[in-house]
Amino acid sequence: MAVTNEDRMACGVHLSEDLKSVVIVDQRQLPNRTVHLTLNTVSEIYDAIKTLAVRGAPAIGICAGYGMYVLAREKSDLDSQAFVRAMEKDAETLISSRPTAVNLSWAVKRMLARIMENRDRPVPEIVAQLAREATAIHDEDILMCTRISEYGLSLLKAGDGIITHCNAGPLATSKYGTAIGPMILAKERGIELKVFADETRPLLQGARLTSYELEKAGVDVTLICDNMASMVLKSGQVQFAFVGCDRIAANGDFANKIGTSGLAILCKYYNVPFYTLGPSSTIDMSCKSGDDIEIELRDPAEIKTMWYKDPMALPETKCFNPAFDVTDHHLLTGIITDRGIVYPPFDVNLKKLFG
């Protein structure tokens, strides 16, 4: 499959036509408004990632890759030493925006490595190298998402029910997406499935984004509150659980949106196969287990006030708002990657595929 510029431009993150800016769909505005943001400065890119205007581990990586190029382009008139120092500072800033999703640091460090490899060349040549590298990051993700969707679809048959949590579709990745990619690909091929989408509190990515993407694709989707998952699983309407991931450790533990671990426990109880789907870039073989994954804590306002006309709790009420949880590998049936489906023992089989 050859990736075209049309493929890139159709994604929720892409480079502007004049190559000077990163353009994103502001995911905070969906589903009621489709707003595109143009990002040019390190603070704009940082804020877009931090405030979830762009979210989803692969999409964050793509945004960071393009962002490093856009920032480098603005520094083309610097001498080599000053250029490298400035780009190292920008890289540090971008990586600090969100700690859990490995794709962010992976993409930034990949761009920084390209700078270091070419640091003795004229700055405009380095910038040209970065343009190619950022595009390669995007193209690779499009191809990986397509392969992941194919592998996921190989498990499904017409009439199957799937439950998913958070959002791992085209907005969060590229092309088809990861966790809901098989569902969109199935619809393309005339295979009818039934999907249950958890709303995914407190930021409602399942309600605002997953149900939106599946509706637009013509997939039969039913939105449920997070605390309804047990009842749906017990009813026998669900044959598989497909969820995304922000970081997969070497032993198969993985971080995903808060609530994923609870869904995995329910699936284990009701004997529903539970899979996470993610590209190679989310697999962190340097991370031994889920205990080594830093979990981002977010603003209490997301729980108390963000979605309400009036606050839903007293101002003095404390909140605990982790963005992610870690699902233990013992709860996992398999990991669907762009290189194939990995089954237990994960520490052995992940190493075979990913070193």
Q: What secondary structure does DSSP assign to 278-344, as a single string?
A: --GGGEETT--SGGGPPPPB--THHHHTTT-SS-SS-TT-----BSEEEE-GGG-SEEEETTEEE-S
Q: Please, which pLDDT band fits residue 103 given cuts at 50, 70 and 90?
A: confident
In a domain? residue 210: yes
Q: Which of 246, 253, 284, 338 is catalytic?
A: 246
Q: Is 246 a catalytic residue?
A: yes
Question: 113, 145, 177 — which closes off a domain?
Answer: 145
In a domain? residue 152: no
Task: Compute φ and ψ for 321, nearest 5 degrees.
Answer: -130, 70
CA distances from 285 to 61, 173, 203, 294 (A): 17, 21, 29, 15
Shared domain for 12 and 120, answered yes or no, is yes
CATH number of domain containing 281 = 3.40.50.10470
Shared domain for 190 and 108, answered yes or no, is no
Q: Are 243 and 263 in contact (CB under 8 A)?
A: yes
| Joined tokens for residue 189 | 């091929």
Give the mean model confidence (pLDDT) for residues 41-45.
96
Residue 180 has pLDDT above 80, yes or no: yes
Shared domain for 116 and 203, answered yes or no, is no
Residue 252, Cβ neighbours under 10 Å: how many?
A: 27
Shared domain for 126 and 186, answered yes or no, is no
Tens of pLDDT, residues 264-289 = 999 999 999 999 999 998 999 999 99
Q: What pLDDT was estimated at residue 90?
A: 96
Specify which residues 282 forms β-bridges with: none
Residue-range definition of the domain harbouring residue 179: 157-354
Instruction: Check the CA dihedral 196-248-335-25 and report its sign.
Output: positive
Residue 1 has pLDDT above 80, yes or no: no
Single out the residue of 179, 224, 207 nearest to residue 334, CA to CA: 179
Q: Total structural domains in the chain? A: 2
Q: What pLDDT was estimated at residue 6?
A: 80
Shared domain for 53 and 171, answered yes or no, is no
Whose structure tokens read 């939105």?
Answer: 223
* Residue % of the chain over a pLDDT of 90: 88
In this structure, of 101-105, 164-168, 302-306, 315-319, the range with the lowest mean pLDDT score is 101-105
Tens of pLDDT, residues 190-212 = 999 999 999 999 999 999 999 99
Shared domain for 117 and 189, answered yes or no, is no
In a domain? residue 93: yes
CATH number of domain containing 127 = 1.20.120.420
In a domain? residue 150: no
Shared domain for 125 and 186, answered yes or no, is no
Residue 7 has pLDDT above 90, yes or no: no
Q: What pLDDT was estimated at residue 305?
A: 94
Q: What pLDDT was estimated at residue 150?
A: 97
Specify which residues 241 forms β-bridges with: 163, 274
The span from the CA of 294 to the CA of 354, in Å, is 22
What separation, in Å, do the N-terminal and C-terminal C-alpha atoms of the chain show?
26
Shared domain for 313 and 273, answered yes or no, is yes
Shared domain for 100 and 177, answered yes or no, is no
Shared domain for 206 and 115, answered yes or no, is no
Q: What pLDDT was estimated at residue 11?
A: 82
